[in-house]
């Protein structure tokens, strides 16, 4: 697949058709493979606050069309080995009052990175979907990174970049290489953020990276990727507390349910982790993220939302609104 194989006109055409067909798709009785939970199961986390549904901005929306994108990390036959399109997303979030989304890059093949960024920017500009902003893929340590990232100067929809750091080709300490640090500093100069998506044991590296890049804002994905089934989470807690001392770091409250035991988890299993990051970062530096469709390895989007609402249901409603909506508006400058 070459760089331009994912054509903007194709992506926009899909976006427009998806928005038009969403109500039809949502009315169909047969659920998608990733959303098979019954009505009874999907409502088991409902709280009294559901009677006045909070608006939600999903700051971690994945979408892909495998006919246009090449995703090297997707294994044949895996749950992720299918298209996840806008109509599928709208069906997954139906009734949850998701009002806007921030697209998150999907680790496409290098030949597709530029096309992915250009296409999602065009979708945001079209106003045809919930997508209002995007975080795109980039390789800060690569020789051509400066030229690549310069393309996004002045793009009102591209808010930041991400390179997944927990892949097999990125050993511990990779993000502290001089060339990587130089690339992250450049993001700060351009007013772009960097998403930290890394192994929990390497959060100390994240703290060092933040200190080395004083003008760049960072967003920690998935609460730092803890294992909620682990018997001892003290090391993760210490790392979170240390990272949270840096006021340029924001934490996405997400990724917790994915490490829970499928079919045998509850909101109580996730609560110690969600509560810890909220208390460490404070209500002004936490944002909700869905991580759909990856979350469907253990839960539907609705189950994750209801679980988090259950966890924070006794917190002031003003703070709940910050978590689910208001902080995202401010941090991503969403219009």
d(CA 198, CA 195): 9
User: For a pLDDT cut of 70, what percent of the chain falls above it?
Assistant: 84
* pLDDT score, position 50: 52
* pLDDT score, position 14: 37
Q: What is the sign, positive or negative, of the torsion defined by CA atoms of 293, 102, 225, 193?
A: positive
**Mean of all residue pLDDT scores within the chain:** 87
pLDDT in tens, 77-115: 999 999 999 999 999 999 999 999 999 999 999 999 999
* pLDDT score, position 10: 40
Q: Are strands 98-104 and 131-137 parallel, antiparallel or unpaired?
A: parallel
Give the DSSP per-residue string, 126-195.
HT-SSEEEEEEE--TTSTTHHHHHHTTTT-SSEEEEE----STTS-TTGGGSHHHHHHHHHHHHTT-EEE
* pLDDT score, position 52: 53
d(CA 270, CA 311): 8
pLDDT band at 53 (very low <50, low <70, confident <90, very high): confident
Domains and CATH numbers, the chain: 8-25+47-332 (3.20.20.140)
Q: Is the pLDDT of residue 298 over 80?
A: yes
pLDDT band at 47 (very low <50, low <70, confident <90, very high): low
Q: Is the pLDDT of residue 51 over 70?
A: no
Q: Is the pLDDT of residue 212 over 60?
A: yes
What's the whole-model pTM score? 0.85
- 51-55, 60-64, 82-86, 312-316: least confident range: 51-55
pLDDT in tens, 237-287: 999 999 999 999 999 999 999 999 999 999 999 999 999 999 999 999 999
* pLDDT score, position 317: 96
For helices 178-189 and 203-212, give the axis angle rounded to 10 degrees: 60
Tokens 């009002």 map to which residue?
Answer: 99
Mean pLDDT along residues 312-326:
97
d(CA 310, CA 269): 12
* pLDDT score, position 11: 40
Q: Is the pLDDT of residue 4 over 80?
A: no
d(CA 288, CA 61): 11
Mean pLDDT along residues 276-299:
97
* pLDDT score, position 23: 34
pLDDT band at 27 (very low <50, low <70, confident <90, very high): very low
Mean pLDDT along residues 123-137:
96
Q: Which residues pair with 253 in a beta bridge?
A: 288
Neighbours of 172 (CB within 10 A): 14
Is residue 139 within 8 A of residue 164, CB to CB? The reply is no
* pLDDT score, position 294: 96
Q: Is the pLDDT of residue 22 over 60?
A: no
pLDDT band at 5 (very low <50, low <70, confident <90, very high): very low
Cis peptide preceding 302, ω within 30 of 0: no
């Amino acid at each position: 697949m070459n760089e331009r194989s994912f054509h903007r006109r194709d992506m926009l055409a899909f976006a427009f058709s998806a928005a038009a067909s969403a109500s039809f798709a949502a009315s169909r009785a047969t659920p998608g493979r990733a959303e098979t939970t019954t009505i009874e199961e999907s409502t088991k986390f409902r709280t009294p606050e559901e009677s006045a549904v909070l608006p939600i901005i999903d700051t971690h929306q994945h979408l892909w069309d495998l006919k246009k994108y090449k995703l090297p990390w997707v294994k044949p036959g895996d749950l992720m080995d299918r298209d996840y399109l806008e109509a599928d997303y709208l069906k997954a979030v139906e009734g949850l009052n998701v009002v806007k989304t921030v697209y998150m890059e999907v680790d496409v093949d290098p030949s597709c990175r530029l096309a992915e960024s250009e296409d999602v920017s065009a979708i945001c500009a079209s106003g045809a979907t919930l997508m209002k902003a995007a975080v795109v893929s980039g390789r800060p340590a690569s020789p051509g990174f400066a030229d690549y990232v310069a393309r996004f100067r002045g793009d009102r929809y591209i808010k930041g970049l991400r390179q997944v750091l927990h892949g097999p080709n990125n050993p511990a300490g990779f993000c502290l290489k001089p060339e990587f640090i130089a690339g992250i500093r450049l993001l700060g100069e351009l007013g772009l953020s960097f998403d930290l998506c890394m192994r929990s044991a390497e959060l100390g590296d994240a703290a060092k990276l933040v200190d080395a890049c004083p003008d760049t804002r960072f967003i920690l994905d998935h609460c730092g990727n803890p294992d909620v089934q682990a018997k001892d989470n003290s090391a993760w807690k210490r790392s979170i507390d240390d990272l949270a001392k840096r006021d340029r770091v924001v934490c996405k409250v997400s990724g917790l349910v994915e490490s829970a035991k499928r079919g045998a988890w509850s909101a109580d299993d996730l609560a110690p982790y969600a509560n810890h990051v909220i208390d460490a970062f404070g209500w002004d530096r936490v944002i909700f993220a869905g991580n759909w469709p990856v979350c469907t390895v253990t839960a539907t989007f609705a189950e994750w939302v209801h679980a988090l609402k259950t966890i924070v249901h006794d917190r002031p409603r003003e703070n709940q609104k910050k978590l689910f909506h208001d902080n995202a508006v401010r941090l991503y400058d969403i219009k």
